[in-house]
Structure 1
Amino acid sequence: MRIEEVQLKGFGKYQDAVFRFAPGINLFFAPNEAGKSTLLHGMIAALYGMKRDYVKTTRYLPEYEKYRPWQPGPYETIITYQLAGRTYRLHRSLLKEREEARLFLDPEWTELTDVYQEDRRKERNFIEKHLGLSRSLFTDVTWIRREPLAAGEHLMPALMTDTQETSPIANKILADLERDLSAIGKKEKAENTLLGKATALLSQKEAELRQAEVVSQEMSQLSRQLADWESERVSLEQLRHRLLQKKAYWAKREEEWQKRWQLSHSVPDEEQWRWWEETSFSQEERVLHQQTHAALHRLQIAEESEHEPMAPSQDQEMLRRLQTDYEQGVALRRQWEDAHVRLAQLAATTRRSESREPHQGLGWVAWLWTGAVASAGIGVISWLFEQSSSSAAAFALTAVLAAVAWFFGRKRKGRNLVDSLPSAEMMRIQEELAFLDDRLGALLSQWQMPDWEAFVEYREQRQKQFQEREGRHTAERISRQEEANKLIREWGTAVRECLTREKQAWGLQDWQRECARAEEQLQEVRERIAKATGQMEAHEGISVAQSRAEYEEAQAGLARLLEKREALQLARDALVEAMAEWNRDVSPGVNRQASLVMEKISEGRYREVRLDPRDSFSVKVLEPWNQRVLEQEHCSTGTQDQLYFAQRMALFHHVSQQTEPLPLFLDDHFVHYDQRRLERALAYLEEVSEEHQIFLFSCTDRELLVWERMLSASQRHQAHPLAEILA
């Protein structure tokens, strides 16, 4: 196998990095942290991916997270390698979310992905199919490290050979046997093995059979119960129908009862009284209606008898006439008083005119006119305060004084004033006063009253009598109305009591409880029927015969699996026994190879090396000077490194003989070698590189100085200064 090229599309610090390799030695030298180990892990990841071996489920290596791309981009590799004369191109996407591996055959890039079957973890291990080596075995054999083998217990089948030539058939057979036995499993409770699944299936089928038998019994019982429940449901529905008919009757009676209850709060008219008497439910109620109606009728007759048709109209007419005459008399008296005021004013005017003539003092005439004016003022004031007698006396005195003053004044002056304007006006006022006195006297004579004061007193008496009579009548009407209202209230209360007793006599509560009980029983029966029907429908597809057949089939399957496991164990034990016989023949060859390598790189100091396959091929060496056998860990650091080198190279050569030349990887392995040991080891690697491809990673230039002439003289080998590549 030869690796031609690797592309790290995204792996750790590398992004879109391409590396091409020589068929012989490829020396990578650079300081620490330059990316040498990242490149080596990237090559192994490109070949095998990033998952662990020998686990039943997918488990990723610890370095999966370590080598995630440092920059945003794909976690992806592409590797091109030659194998058995063919060139393959393997693409890998390492992201867990989009993990994918595709294999192409150059130069046509024919895709071969589907040619390789998936294993039980849904993976296609292309390199493992090509070489017969898992990732762990490949790194144990091809990667020389200062540590024990990681998969030593799985390495023995890979070393199987006969005495003449390589024979991978035995390896494949043993691996297949182990895989089949692992798939079958040892414990019946293991969930991911065939034995565990078959046992679980048998338990499941047994439980299903028991469940089917229980269901069958339940179905038979449910069928009998359904018949009984159906009969009960029919009876209850008939009872419910009768109760519903009764409910309609009671609803009608309830409606009528509510109507009577509402009407008991209102006052019935004559037609409603007849309706109440005709629709009475009991004799007690009928007597109540009749008595109340009769009592109300008597009250109505009493009220009508107290109000005769003529009496109210005569009183009202008399009061109306009295009020009319009173208003007319008030108007006449107001006119009479106005006339007296004008007369007094005219007399005062006349007096002032006389005063302007030559006269020796006012004399007694002037005093008469002054008295008339004062009397008129007193009359006006009395009239304003509604003292009619005082007002009349004052106005009469005013008239007398004015007349006397006028008469004597006219005689004293010696001239006739009859035709003058003031005298004519006085006469007209006197005539008006006489006319007003006549009309007022006629009005008083109609009522046979001596004066106005008596008329006013008579009017007030008659009004008071009328008001008292009307008050008595109003009180009597109110009393009768209150009595009627009381009768109506008592009647309504009594009617409602009768209605309440009547409704209580119906027994509605018993009927309602019966209806509720019937509905509850019918609902319960329906629910039981629905539940039983649902259970029968849910278990409709369950068959005892079918469950028993599946249970027996599961039993037979488990028995066949146990027989197969026993046969596989016998075959494996026989093959292991044959391998033990073979091991006695193959171990000397592996030990000889390890001793040869150790002799070459130690200049013959150590010539006897043994690998113990029963202890992960641990290394022991024989000291030639004292013939003492030493464990590897008891040697010096440099010797330990040489023993690791001899161990890996012996296994490397032996496995390569069975497959084809494998590549060899060394990562700073010679750090603890002194110069002489280094030169001998590198000389041995030159021999190996004639047949195998070698990848050597170093943080120093010691290897380059030893190989400088060889690297420059041969096209088969190449030095890769990693710093320059990254630049």
Structure 2
Amino acid sequence: MYIKELIITSFGKYQNKKISLKPGINIIYGENEAGKSTVHKFIEAMFFGFYKDYKSRRTYNPDYEKYLPMFSSSYEGILIYEEDCREVRIERNLLKGKDKVVLYDEGTGEDISKEFYYDSAIKLYAPFEESMMNRRIYNNTVSISQLGCRTSKELSEELKDYLANLGESKGDLSVQKALKSLNDSYNEIGTERRKDSPIYKVKYHIKSLQEDKDKIRSNMIKVEELTEEINKIEDRIQKAIIEREEYHKNILSGQSYEALCKVQEYESKLKENNEILKKISKISYEEVSEEEYDRIKGMRTEIEILEKHVEDMISKKGTHKTEIKDEQNQQRVDSLKEKQNQSKRFMILSSIASICGLLGSILHPLFYTLLIFIFFVIYFYKKTSDYGRQYEEQRKAVGEEFVFERQKTKEFNETIDDYKSKIERLDLEVRKLLQKNKVVSIEAYEAHLKSKRDVEALEKQLENSTILLETLIPLKELDKWQAKALEYSQYAQFKVELDLDALVLKKNAKDKEINDMNLKKSKLQGSVESILDELVDLSDVENDIHYHERELEKLQGKQDALQLAMDTIQKLSAEIHNEFAPELNRLLGKIVGEITEKYKVVKVSKDLEIKVEDPIYHQFIDLNKLSSGTMDQIYFAFRLGLNEFISSTTFPVLLDETFIQYDENRLSNVLKYIIKKSSNRQIIIFTSQRREMEIMSKYTEDFQIIKL
């Protein structure tokens, strides 16, 4: 058998990766973290999935989460291998909930899954029989990973562990499986104390059947008592039914009377609606706008306000007599101007007189006369200056007051003109709106508007009345109510109850009373039927008791037989171990001798202690006393030897960084042995070192290198 091709659809770090292998030696080379261990684990997953061993249902080991793709929703792949000139294609979906394995004939494409072993625990097909190759045999034999830098003692203990696993493989594997199966069967029968065991259940069932038998006998008396009580209830039910019918007829009478009253009220309201329609038809009016009426009213109000403002402005204007004040002020200015002119004339005369006096003083020495003239000149000059200043101040004051009064009068006139302009514009707008609504005056507008509002009020009244009619009796139900009203003649002889609600409550109470009695009667009848069923099945119960008593005897006898079988198999197991131990020792010694070129005798004791014979002194040496390198070689030899001993198939050997602690001499010996075995067996070596390829090429060129 050899693996031909790996198609890693989605697994770990790989997506859509294809690796082709050939018979013989294949070296998968890559640096650390290149994914060599991922490819190694992919091969294991394709053969065995990620299920825990020895479980009765699907449970997953930690590797499932470790290699679950982070960036893909799928978790699947394909492995193609060839065996006996036939290529088999394994397609496996590893995703939880979608687990699936299909095996195809690669040549024909035919689904050949049913030709292979079916694992009932995980409910999937498997490529190999459980006894030929399973995950534990695979991991303890042909799949060899790096041991790492461990101490000699640790390596020794690991070898012991793998030999212990051998005790659960091949010969002892079938023994352990048989013992486990027998023990499981024994435990399934269980004990009388374990509630989920068959023995407990049978004994409990027998006890329950005995109780049922006693109960049937005690219930026979109850049947007569219950039957008598049922008859009494039936009498009370009949009486209550008569009373309920009386209530029912009175209710029908009241309902038909109520319907009659409602129909009469409906017809009265309908008549009122017709009267309203007549009133509406008699009112005629022009369709005028309510909104525009409000605008007209607003504008009329604004006109009245503006007219009042005009009157006020005219009144205020009358208090200011600008023309009169202008004349008075002008007279005051003219008087001051006249005084100023007189002073100026006197000043001129005084000046002339002074000049004459001065000239006279020259001619006549009348000096004092000259001084008097000079004094008068100075006096009249000052007086003339005062008149001039008063004139200028008065003129200025009169001018400012005049300008103010004239400005105020102008403002009054402008405001009055503005108000009148607004009044004319608003009056024009009012006339336009009246014309638009086809009326000649505001009074006519109001008359039409009043008629319109009257119609709208009547229409609202009609609408409310119509709603009231619909509330009283919906139109779609009118025929039903009229028919109900006609029924009153049939129930007129019965008493009409005005309080129908109270009557309905009485009837409902009577209905409940009847229902309660019927329910009680049904329960009693059910109890009677149940008791009668038990009475009828009494003979079956007794037969069932006898049957389960025989079943209990069988289970107890089966447990005795299982215990005897387990004791016998354990005795035979020791004898089988003694038979295959010499053959295993011989095979392992041969392989160890070829690889180590020193130790050729290996012994595995009954208690699984491993010893090798010293070739010089012929003494047995414990494995933990050997060097780490030698222990690595023996470890490798044991793996291959165990596989040859356990499995009849030439399963590919997978070596993942197995030789990392080997020196060149040990590595050369191992590789020569591998080359020899590769003639009839596929060898797949995973390594991050080139020395395996370099040493291998010294002995053969017949190997394939696959670089990741």
TM bucket (normalised to shorter chain) is: 0.5 to 0.7
For 2:695, what is the secondary structure of its paired residue? helix
Q: Which residue of 2 aligns with 1:232?
A: 232
Counterpart of 2:128, as a letter, is E
Please, which of 523, 526, 539 is the counterpart of residue 531 of structure 1?
523
Q: Which residue of 2 aligns with 1:720?
A: 706
Q: Which residue of 2 aligns with 1:675?
A: 664
What whole-Å deviation, never above 9, does each CA across 1:95-138 have from its counterpart, x for those lacking one?
11111111223422322223446444242453332862221122
C-alpha distance in structure 1 between counterparts of 2:511 and 2:576, whole Å = 90
What whole-Å deviation, never above 9, does each CA across 1:234-283 have from its counterpart, x for those lacking one?
454477579889999x99xxxxxxxxxxxxxxxxxxxxxxxxxxxxxxxx
In terms of mean alpha carbon deviation, does 213-222 or 687-696 score higher? 213-222
1:253-402 paired onto structure 2 within 5 Å: none
Does residue 652 of structure 1 match 2:643? Answer: yes
Q: Which residue of 2 aligns with 1:177?
A: 178
Does residue 696 of structure 1 match 2:689? Answer: no
Please, which of 568, 575, 586 is the counterpart of residue 581 of structure 1?
575
What whole-Å deviation, never above 9, does each CA across 1:539-591 have from its counterpart, x for those lacking one?
77663443444454445445445544544554454454344333223212212
TM-score, length of structure 2 as denominator length: 0.54
After superposition, the Cα gap between the structure-2 partners of 1:237 and 1:144, relative to the gap in structure 1 and judged at 3 Å, is closer
Q: Which residue of 1 aligns with 2:431?
A: none
Q: CA deviation at 1:700?
A: 1.0
C-alpha distance in structure 2 between counterparts of 1:557 and 1:154, whole Å = 39
Q: Which residue of 2 aligns with 1:155?
A: 166
Q: CA deviation at 1:24?
A: 1.0
For 2:81, what is the secondary structure of its paired residue? strand
After superposition, the Cα gap between the structure-2 partners of 1:689 and 1:610, relative to the gap in structure 1 and judged at 3 Å, is same
Q: CA deviation at 1:674?
A: 1.5
For 1:670, what is the secondary structure of its paired residue? coil
Q: CA deviation at 1:609?
A: 2.6
TM-score, length of structure 1 as denominator length: 0.53
C-alpha distance in structure 2 between counterparts of 1:530 and 1:43, whole Å = 70
Does residue 662 of structure 1 match 2:651? Answer: yes
**Which ranges in structure 1 are unaligned for 5 or more consecutive residues?**
161-169, 252-514, 723-727
In terms of mean alpha carbon deviation, does 641-650 or 43-52 score higher? 641-650
C-alpha distance in structure 1 between counterparts of 2:606 and 2:552, whole Å = 36
What whole-Å deviation, never above 9, does each CA across 1:628-652 have from its counterpart, x for those lacking one?
6554445433233223112212212
For 1:10, what is the secondary structure of its paired residue? strand
For 2:127, what is the secondary structure of its paired residue? helix
1:494-513 paired onto structure 2 within 5 Å: none
C-alpha distance in structure 1 between counterparts of 2:637 and 2:655, whole Å = 13
Q: CA deviation at 1:228?
A: 2.2
Could you tell me whether the CA contact under 8 Å between 1:144 and 1:644 is conserved in 2?
no
For 2:611, what is the secondary structure of its paired residue? strand
Counterpart of 1:581, as a letter, is E
After superposition, the Cα gap between the structure-2 partners of 1:107 and 1:582, relative to the gap in structure 1 and judged at 3 Å, is same
Could you tell me whether the CA contact under 8 Å between 2:114 and 2:125 is conserved in 1?
no
After superposition, the Cα gap between the structure-2 partners of 1:117 and 1:537, relative to the gap in structure 1 and judged at 3 Å, is farther
- Computing the radius of gyration from Cα coordinates, the structure with the larger value is 1
C-alpha distance in structure 2 between counterparts of 1:720 and 1:245, whole Å = 99
Could you tell me whether the CA contact under 8 Å between 1:87 and 1:105 is conserved in 2?
yes
Please, which of 579, 584, 587 is the counterpart of residue 590 of structure 1?
584
Task: Count the aligned residue pairs.
Answer: 445
Structural RMSD (CA): 4.3
Q: Which residue of 1 aligns with 2:123?
A: 123
For 2:578, what is the secondary structure of its paired residue? helix
Could you tell me whether the CA contact under 8 Å between 1:30 and 1:36 is conserved in 2?
yes
C-alpha distance in structure 2 between counterparts of 1:96 and 1:234, whole Å = 63
Could you tell me whether the CA contact under 8 Å between 2:9 and 2:78 is conserved in 1?
yes
Q: CA deviation at 1:58?
A: 2.1
After superposition, the Cα gap between the structure-2 partners of 1:129 and 1:241, relative to the gap in structure 1 and judged at 3 Å, is closer
Q: CA deviation at 1:11?
A: 1.0
C-alpha distance in structure 2 between counterparts of 1:706 and 1:584, whole Å = 41
After superposition, the Cα gap between the structure-2 partners of 1:620 and 1:244, relative to the gap in structure 1 and judged at 3 Å, is same
C-alpha distance in structure 2 between counterparts of 1:619 and 1:201, whole Å = 49
For 1:9, what is the secondary structure of its paired residue? strand
Could you tell me whether the CA contact under 8 Å between 2:655 and 2:685 is conserved in 1?
yes
1:70-81 paired onto structure 2 within 5 Å: 70-81=70-81
After superposition, the Cα gap between the structure-2 partners of 1:245 and 1:655, relative to the gap in structure 1 and judged at 3 Å, is closer
For 2:95, what is the secondary structure of its paired residue? coil
Q: Which residue of 2 aligns with 1:23?
A: 23
After superposition, the Cα gap between the structure-2 partners of 1:207 and 1:106, relative to the gap in structure 1 and judged at 3 Å, is farther
1:198-217 paired onto structure 2 within 5 Å: 198-199=198-199, 201-203=201-203, 205-206=205-206, 209-210=209-210, 212-213=212-213, 216-217=216-217
Could you tell me whether the CA contact under 8 Å between 1:594 and 1:646 is conserved in 2?
yes
C-alpha distance in structure 2 between counterparts of 1:3 and 1:25, whole Å = 11
Q: CA deviation at 1:48?
A: 1.2
1:628-647 paired onto structure 2 within 5 Å: 630-647=621-638
In terms of mean alpha carbon deviation, does 681-690 or 697-706 score higher? 681-690
Counterpart of 1:708, as a letter, is S
Could you tell me whether the CA contact under 8 Å between 2:206 and 2:549 is conserved in 1?
no
For 1:77, what is the secondary structure of its paired residue? strand
Q: Which residue of 2 aligns with 1:707?
A: 696
For 1:708, what is the secondary structure of its paired residue? helix
Q: Which residue of 1 aligns with 2:55?
A: 55
For 2:633, what is the secondary structure of its paired residue? helix
Could you tell me whether the CA contact under 8 Å between 1:128 and 1:135 is conserved in 2?
no
Could you tell me whether the CA contact under 8 Å between 1:9 and 1:78 is conserved in 2?
yes
1:416-565 paired onto structure 2 within 5 Å: 526-535=518-527, 543-557=537-551, 559-564=553-558
Q: Which residue of 2 aligns with 1:111?
A: 111
Could you tell me whether the CA contact under 8 Å between 1:661 and 1:692 is conserved in 2?
yes
Q: CA deviation at 1:12?
A: 0.6
